[in-house]
Structure 1
Amino acid sequence: MTMSVKSALEQRTAINYFDASKSLTEQQIEELVRLATLAPTAFNLQNWHFVAVQSDAAKQKLHAAAYKQQKVLDASVTFIVCGEIESHKNFDRVVKTLVERGGVSEADAAVWKGKVVATHENNPTTQHAEAFRSASLGAMALMLAAEEQGLASGPMSGFDPAAVSAAFDLPATRIPVMLVSVGYAAEGNYPQKPRLDVAQVLDIV
């Protein structure tokens, strides 16, 4: 299946009701995350992490932490999209891929790393802001990927971050930013809600 980005955006809607009888394969889940990680991040930090909640036991834990929203139980998988606030400390793994697969020289990669450290070290405001930006971009990319593959998705901000972190043993440096349920739509969902006219939300200067 091939769908334009325009079509994916125009057709996508936030799904509340999923067909609980249908599941996704591990390969489908991995492909969704692969596509999600093509979203941009500052300095190519890739400061995100995805937890795919698929098993019944894991769904029950997330259900409790997400104010018992039924879609967590019914969707094929719900992703906990996290932002990593200390990715600058692990930037060597990015440097390695830049040098080995990105054609970047070791000298240029070292300069790149220096800029990352300079902007992020001892700067919790930047760390948190970039983690939330990156996780949000990754979540949107994931939803578009799901739409292109004939799947439905529903983003959620309605959850207790502390409860999610505790239930899934997330380290303090890994912040749950958003939940995204993915699966097959059931009956009863609303179509995409009307948007304001562009003139109401745009200034061209």
Structure 2
Amino acid sequence: MGDEKRGLREEARELFKLFFEKSKDVQKATAQTIKEITDKTLKEVQPSKEKVKEITEGILEGIQDTRKEVGGRLEGVIKTLQELTERATSTVREVITGVVEGVEEVSEKEKREECLKYIKERRSVTFFDPDREVPDEVLKDILNIAALAPSGYNLQPWEVIVVKSRDKKKKLREICYNQEKVEEASANIVIIANTNAAEEHVDRVLDSWVELGYIKEEERDSLRETILAGWKSPERRKRKAIRDSALFAMSVMIVARYFGLETHPMEGFDEAKLKRFLGIGRGKLVPLIVAIGYRHPEKELLPRAYRFKFEEFGKIV
């Protein structure tokens, strides 16, 4: 009996790891594991409470084996599985439904908590580890994810130049009024607001909207005119480009925390010199630069400075 029990647990464990490797999703892997075993291994046999416990115990072992890949988010999932295992009845459908629904509920809650964690962890760090370099691929991943930020009519009026080489960081430091963090950071992301984005991007945006079914082909021309009309005045162009580029920059800083990196947004620089240095053309503005890198291991981050509460900056009407 001991070998049979261990065999069922081992099978559940290995199946979970196999499914998790494919989906990287605890909920899906759990549901697939239970279904696979009940459909194929147990076939027509109605599992007893003991067999159900063996299955969920095996899944728990699989979760423990893979926990490093998804970190702390597993704690709630493990607790849910353990509780449901203890409450298992002889009706396997109850257990399967309970496990899947319970894992789904906890997974969603932990995803929300993880998102809030990165937002709350973001700080404007002034000291970076000059000896640790952020790989180019990581920087590209961060920027690609941050580019999911919203923008008016999806025009995405931002561009970036990542200043990473030692020589260029040294020159950039001079342009940024000798701020030490510019040179210590692994890279500096120059956020560029493109005031010509409407004319340059509108056709690609509308083509995708027609293709995806957001609008009909016959609506395209009139919508194009509406979009361009909103960018006619120089003041509107500037406001829209800077606003959306700032949303993108904020996304960069939050996503950077997911990758274990620190950031610092900077507005202290000579924009005219910066544009000449990097060859940034007319119609483009630089609202800020984001220094990015690893925090210096020997320096302590002070507690977060005072933040205004809702009652001090807002009201509900």
Q: Does 1:167 align with 2:277?
A: yes
Match of 2:255 in 1: 145
2:308 corresponds to 1:196: yes
What are the Cα deviations for residues 76-98 of structure 1, in whole angstroms up to 9, with x where unaligned?
A: 11100111001111122333443
Counterparts of 2:267 and 2:115 in 1: how far apart (Å)?
24
The aligned residue for residue 120 of structure 1 is 231
1:171-192 CA-partner distances (Å, limit 9, x unpaired): 0111111110111011143332
What is aligned with 1:41? 151
Corresponding position of 2:198: 88
Conserved in 2, the CA contact under 8 Å of 1:16 and 1:189? no
- Structure 2 distance, partners of 1:183, 1:63, is 15
The answer to whether residue 172 in structure 2 is matched with residue 62 in structure 1 is yes
- Output the CA distance in 2 between the equivalents of 1:141 and 1:38: 8
The whole-number CA distance in structure 2 between the counterparts of 1:69 and 1:184 is 17
1:14 Cα deviation from its structure 2 partner: 0.4
Q: What fraction of aligned residue pairs are identical, expressed as a percent?
A: 26
User: TM-score scaled by structure 2?
Assistant: 0.61
Aligned counterpart, 1:4: 114
Say if 1:25 and 1:197 are closer, same or farther in 2 by CA, change over 3 A: same
| Alignment partners' CA distance in 2, 1:108 and 1:181 | 43
Query: What is the match of residue 98 of structure 1?
Result: 209
**Structure 1: 5+ residue runs without aligned partners?**
none
In the alignment, residue 183 of structure 2 is paired with which amino acid? Answer: L
Instruction: Count residues with an aligned counterpart.
Output: 204
For 1:86 and 1:115, the matched residues in 2 are separated by 15
Provide the aligned C-alpha RMSD in A: 1.8
Partner of 2:139: 29
* Structure 1 pair 102–142 and aligned structure 2 pair: CA distance change class (3 A): farther
Amino acid at match of 1:98: W
Instruction: String of CA shifts for 1:29-76, please: whole Å, max 9, x gaps.
Output: 111111221111111111010111111122122111111111111111
Deviation at 1:23, TM superposition (A): 0.9
| Counterpart position of 1:107 | 218
Matched, 1:75 2:179: no
Per chain length, whose mean CA-contact separation is higher, i.e. which structure has more relative contact order (CA < 8 Å, sep 6+)?
Answer: 1
Structure number with larger C-alpha Rg: 2
In structure 2, give the amino acid aligned to 1:151.
Answer: L
* Offset at residue 103 of structure 1 (A): 5.6
Whole-Å separation in 1 of the counterparts to 2:220 and 2:287: 29
Counterpart-to-counterpart distance in 2, 1:20 and 1:109: 50
For structure 2, list consecutive stretches of 5 or more residues without a partner in the other structure: 1-69, 71-110
> Which 10-residue stretch deviates more, 16-25 or 54-63?
54-63
